[in-house]
Amino acid sequence: MPKVLCTSLIAEQGPHFEILAEAGFEADVVDRSVDLKIEGDFTAALAGYEACIAGAEPFPREVIEGSPQLRVIARSGVGFDAIDIEACDKAGVVVTTTPGVNHHAVAEHTIALLMGVGRGWPGLDQRVRTGRWQRVPYPRVMGSTLGIVGLGRIGRAVATRAVGLGMSVLACDPFPNRGFAEQWRVELTDFDDLLARSDYVSLHSPATAETRHLMNAATLSRMKQGSILINTARGSLVDEAALAEAIKTGHIRGAGLDVFEKEPLPLDSPLLNLDHVLFAGHVAGLDEESHHDTFAMVARTIIDLHGGGWPSECIQNLKSTTDWKWDRR
């Protein structure tokens, strides 16, 4: 009976247990007292398990090399930057994600952050809580311009919602869907023009070496005066110290942040001292529907791989492999 370890923080409940059990798998949840950031402890927890349903926890080379029985790391989400892909390729460990199940959740969350910061939260909320009522007008969102950096599945879902709010939408993407852009009246432009013209900039790019600190002191300075930054993609896209400084000086009006360079966000982060930043804890892609669909896809992907299938739309590594087998013998 193949064994699967669930390490994702939201894996305690979901359809994956029933789906895996029906296929003859055993699925367990990791002991939550184990610190998965300690490589030796994580490796010990993985002992005996051939697949792992993973969250955002890191899978460094040491963990991969120390888990020779591991065949699949099934990420419950679309990001896999915390996994050492090179080590997985060398060890023959398949890394999978769950594309197409959470883009509506992320899009709604993005718009919620945009509206919240745009209309003055969390300051409005905090002033009411302390009896400091203050009537301050904020710019209307309708009629403003949203710049979307990355027009993939999530970026497109954000764009349709923004159009529905009466916003003008700009987008930059190295390989844009031009048919979509034409249908939804999204203006395709370059990164610098987008920064200069947008009242809101929303990030939807992957985390790569090229996109690390995409938003830094220089690029933040090129944003429109009084504009707002939204990040529901990856924390590494933003230089947080530079963002805090840009907000302090007033060049940037505020930010809505769901992801951070270090998670949980350290309590000494300068961002926490700013009134015009709205926070969430890496939950943009999580709603009831996406949770169900994500863990159903994870389970079925593992079962498919065990049965000799190759769900290429979910697989993020071993691109040139043609003879991968679950059984190493």
**Residue positions annotated with a catalytic role:** 234, 263, 282
Q: What angle do CA 312, 313, 317 make, to 5 degrees?
A: 60
Q: Which burial class, exposed, middle or buried, applies to 159 when counting CB atoms under 10 A from its CB (0-12, 13-18, 19+)?
A: buried
Question: What is the CA 108 to chain-centroid distance, rounded?
Answer: 13
Strands of the chain (E only): list them. 3-6, 26-29, 51-54, 72-75, 94-96, 145-149, 168-172, 186-188, 200-203, 227-231, 252-257, 277-279
Closest C-alpha to 254, from 218, 227, 273: 227
DSSP β-ladder status, 26-29 and 200-203: unpaired
Rounded distance between C-alpha atoms, residue 3 and residue 239, angstroms: 40
Is residue 210 a contact partner of residue 191, using CB atoms and an 8 Å limit?
no
By CB neighbour count within 10 A (0-12 exposed, 13-18 middle, 19+ buried), where does 319 fall?
A: exposed
Helix (H, G, I), strand (E, B) or coil at 75: strand
Whole-angstrom distance, CA of residue 159 vs CA of residue 169: 7
